[in-house]
Amino acid sequence: MPQATYHFPRGFLWGTATASHQVEGNNTNNQWWMWEQTGHTDGTSGLACDWWGGRWREDFDRAAETGQNAHRFSVEWSRIQPTPDTWDEDALERYRAMLRGLRERGMTPMVTLHHFTDPMWFYEMDGWEHDDAPMLFEKFVRKVVEALKEYCSLWCTVNEPNVYTLSGYVAGLFPTKRHGLNVAKRVLANLLLGHAAAYHAIHEIQKEAQVGYALHYRPMVANNKWSPLDRLMRNIQYNGINMAFPSAISAGVMKSPMGNVRIPEAKGTQDYLGLNYYSVDTIAFDITRPQELFGKRYYPDDSDFSGTKFIANIPDGIFDTIKWATRTYPNLPLYITENGVEDADDKMRPRYIAQHIHQVWRAVNFNFPVKGYFHWSLVDNFEWERGWTQRFGLWGVDVETQKRIKRPSVDLYAEICKENGLSSEMVQKYCPEVFEKLFPV
Ligand code: FCB
């Protein structure tokens, strides 16, 4: 049996990612809380993982003790700026304490400034549809970066602007007042302007800052590659879902199925690109789906499915994602800002982790500049409209008692982080079912 270790470069960041609303608890002043109280989600976030009550300490201990040297979390706009004219200095102080907490544990922080939640006052004025939104976001970002710059220089402006926009303004799963492709186009354009304004503001405040955003990137294949309609639908979906931000940052023009928008301010506004990768979609032409631009997105029946079939385990997709990013932006540093699977029983997670990290290693060996990997997530947390039905944590959380439950993946990921690599022994021990795939003779 072959024995080998796939090593990563020195200084590689190994961590997990979380987001304020999903872990803090009692985030009563944002649009998601409102959405939850009005029955749009499977359960409510409630106390979440009680990080606002201080449990981030024990969870950061868990991360540090298991070899993680980085963590990505987000700050909650609705706490920091509860009304348009007030700043909550105590809230900022808590985030400073969390950042100190990471530093004391030897971990590098990445702070996300917008992860799906907006303050209620912002939502009420029509949120990202409003022309003032980018300016208001910039004001918030300036305040946060001034307050936190002592402890953080790796910033993620906006998480998954494409998911935020499409899940809300098109699919109706996220809180929005209006729907439709034209509103979605406007929201994306404003998010881009907000991102660009934040990028420049952060650099003004902190010279050494590294600023980027997290793109949810979905590789896609046509259901039947010989079918021109399937191929056409695949291209429309691919561009519609993936390309708005990347096209604007490359060329200053946001591409959208509803027409292009010139956003010259956005050109070149990234020092790294964050990639959130989960799975690959298959696209078929489907006349019954005008809402989805006549494209059906699905996973083939014979996929290696996760617990709730939310994810098909397709590890080469992460390699393709990194390859696409490297071709699009040569030499730009890349971080995997999210990757993970919902799997309460931890049946698939060990192989999902090993197989994806193996593909990241392949990418690194092509000299694709991947600098770190953040697993989603450290602990189970509130999964938006899907509530507590999906368990993405390395550690499980009993929401009633707040007890953490260690899953076997914790030990696998700890060994990877500590070794700065993935070895044949680890795969043999935690997911022997993929041994031959990862270490072929
Ligand atoms: C991503 C989100 C993150 C989490 C994972 C499972 O789209 O950024 O908050 O919900 O999916």
**For residue 303, what is the DSSP state?**
S
- Write the burial class of residue 402 (CB in 10 Å: 0-12 exposed, 13-18 middle, 19+ buried): middle
Q: Is 159 in the pocket of ligand 1 (CB under 6 A)?
A: yes
CA 355 / ligand 1 centre spacing (Å):
20
Residue pLDDT, tens place only, 72-110: 999 999 999 999 999 999 999 999 999 999 999 999 999
CA 276 / ligand 1 centre spacing (Å):
8
Ligand 1, atom 2, residue with closest C-alpha = 160
Confidence of residue 291 (pLDDT cuts 50, 70, 90): confident
DSSP bridge pairs for 296:
284
CA 435 / ligand 1 centre spacing (Å):
29
Q: Is 163 in the pocket of ligand 1 (CB under 6 A)?
A: yes
Domain that holds residue 251: 5-438
Mean pLDDT, the chain, whole residue set: 97
CA 18 / ligand 1 centre spacing (Å):
9
| 338, 349, 381: residue to mutate for ligand 1 pocket, most atoms within 8 A of CB | 338
The alpha-helical segments, DSSP class H, found in 222-278 are 228-242, 244-251
CA 239 / ligand 1 centre spacing (Å):
20
CA 226 / ligand 1 centre spacing (Å):
33
Q: Is 211 in the pocket of ligand 1 (CB under 6 A)?
A: no
Residue pLDDT, tens place only, 164-216: 999 999 999 999 999 999 999 999 999 999 999 999 999 999 999 999 999 99
pLDDT of residue 257: 84
Nearest to 388 by CA among 373, 378, 400: 400
- Write the burial class of residue 117 (CB in 10 Å: 0-12 exposed, 13-18 middle, 19+ buried): buried
This model's pTM is above 0.85: yes
What is the dihedral sign for C-alpha 245, 250, 251, 255? negative
Q: What is the distance between the terminal CA atoms of the chain, rounded to a whole angstrom? A: 7
Residue pLDDT, tens place only, 359-400: 999 999 999 999 999 999 999 999 999 999 999 999 999 999
CA 217 / ligand 1 centre spacing (Å):
12
pLDDT of residue 58: 98
Ligand 1, atom 4, residue with closest C-alpha = 383
CA 5 / ligand 1 centre spacing (Å):
30
- Write the burial class of residue 39 (CB in 10 Å: 0-12 exposed, 13-18 middle, 19+ buried): exposed
| 160, 173, 339: residue to mutate for ligand 1 pocket, most atoms within 8 A of CB | 160
Residue 229 · residue 296 · CB < 8 Å: no
CATH code of 402's domain? 3.20.20.80
Tokens 């660009």 belong to 196
CA 349 / ligand 1 centre spacing (Å):
16
Q: Is 380 in the pocket of ligand 1 (CB under 6 A)?
A: no
Q: Is 174 in the pocket of ligand 1 (CB under 6 A)?
A: no
Residue pLDDT, tens place only, 5-25: 999 999 999 999 999 999 999
Confidence of residue 158 (pLDDT cuts 50, 70, 90): very high
Q: Is 50 in the pocket of ligand 1 (CB under 6 A)?
A: no
φ, ψ at 167 (rounded to 5°): -65, -30
Q: Is 166 in the pocket of ligand 1 (CB under 6 A)?
A: no
Instruction: State how many domains the chain has.
Output: 1
Residue 148 · residue 101 · CB < 8 Å: no
φ, ψ at 272 (rounded to 5°): -155, 165
Confidence of residue 294 (pLDDT cuts 50, 70, 90): confident
| 384, 386, 394: residue to mutate for ligand 1 pocket, most atoms within 8 A of CB | 384
**For residue 167, what is the DSSP state?**
I
Ligand 1, atom 9, residue with closest C-alpha = 19
**For residue 252, what is the DSSP state?**
S
DSSP bridge pairs for 421:
7
Q: Is 392 in the pocket of ligand 1 (CB under 6 A)?
A: yes
Ligand 1, atom 10, residue with closest C-alpha = 383
Query: Percentage of the chain surpassing pLDDT 90?
Result: 97
Q: Is 384 in the pocket of ligand 1 (CB under 6 A)?
A: yes
Give the C-alpha separation, 229 to 376, whole Å: 35
pLDDT of residue 258: 87
**For residue 305, what is the DSSP state?**
B
Query: Percentage of the chain surpassing pLDDT 70?
Result: 100
> Which ligand 1 atom is nearest residue 160's CA?
8
Query: Does the pLDDT at position 292 exceed 90?
Result: no
Give the C-alpha separation, 95 to 151, whole Å: 10
